């Protein structure tokens, strides 16, 4: 397979690194796709990254409904910004997150306001957050 969207991690079978190209910069932000009987997405990048993720899944022959897990390492927008949008597109996926981060993914209002205060006019580059139903969260 000639992957355009994701690069195979040769040392680990079926693990692919996707350059998220956050803020339009090559090699700024990365996430992983595990091609397995229960496929997983590790990290999501900003919400702007979701289309790149979906293209990589298609290239790997993984349908969105096959994704079993979405695993942001923490809830900063560059790691979990796309989680809510991916949850909508990947209807069978559980979103695995630390219990302290779960409330921010269920209702991202406070997180969005905090990031807006912190980054000011740069906020549009961070994208948006979509809420995730509590029944989809594994904390």
Give 49-93 pLDDT, tens digit per residue: 999 999 999 999 999 999 999 999 999 999 999 999 999 999 999
Topology adopted by domain 6-138: Metallo-beta-lactamase; Chain A (3.60.15)
Dist CA 132 CA 95 (whole Å): 9
Residue ranges covered by each domain of the chain? 6-138
Average pLDDT, the chain: 92
Structural contact between residues 131 and 106, judged by C-beta atoms closer than 8 angstroms: yes
Structural contact between residues 130 and 77, judged by C-beta atoms closer than 8 angstroms: no
**pTM as predicted:** 0.91
pLDDT, position 3:
52
**Tokens representing 22?**
């956050």
**Tokens representing 106?**
């269920």
Q: Which whole-number Å values give the CA distances from 92 to 31, 66, 107, 125, in the listed order? A: 20, 7, 20, 29
């Amino acid at each position: 397979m000639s992957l355009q969207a994701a690069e195979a991690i040769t040392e680990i079978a079926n693990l692919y690194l996707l350059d998220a190209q956050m803020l339009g910069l090559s090699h700024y932000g990365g996430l992983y796709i595990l091609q397995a009987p229960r496929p997983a997405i590790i990290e999501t990048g900003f919400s702007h990254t979701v289309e790149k993720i979906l293209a990589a899944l298609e290239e790997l022959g993984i349908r969105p409904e096959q994704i079993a897990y979405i695993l942001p390492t923490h809830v900063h927008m560059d790691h979990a910004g796309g989680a809510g949008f991916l949850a909508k597109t990947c209807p069978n996926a559980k979103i695995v997150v630390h219990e302290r981060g779960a409330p921010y993914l269920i209702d991202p209002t406070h997180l969005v306001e905090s990031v807006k205060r912190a980054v000011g006019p740069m906020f549009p580059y961070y994208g948006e957050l979509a809420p995730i139903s509590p029944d989809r969260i594994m904390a």
